[in-house]
Amino acid sequence: METQLNSDSKLLRIFIGENDKVYHHPLYEALLFAAKKQGLAGATVLRGIMSFGASTRVHTAKLIDISQDLPVIVEIIDHEDKINAFMEIVNKLMDKAGCGGLVTIEKAQVMYYKSRK
């Protein structure tokens, strides 16, 4: 059965570093596979080229400032109740990783969501 998304959907964004690890695996990977296991509608991991956050340390992909900890954004979309329930897993994984980060939830009006035929 295919999940139906609509104007009641939410977008969960998790901003972390690419070097953040949990259980010897990248945190972004653990988050994506946890979302899949929970049956969430979809998740994407994006790698950034430059960022700064609460520590004010700049992370960049410039060759002169080779950073091995580039920003990563994990975006997950589903209905509000499923996103809210998944936040418990997000908090546990981020606590276990001992990393900093930022987590946001925003309204998402899904206009198209279909699997390949």
Ordered by where they begin, the domains of the chain are: 9-100 (3.30.70.120)
Report pLDDT digits (tens) over 66-101.
556 789 999 999 999 999 999 999 999 999 999 999
CA distance 70 to 67: 6
Task: Tell whether pTM > 0.75.
Answer: yes
C-alpha closest to that of 53 among 22, 86, 28, 17: 17
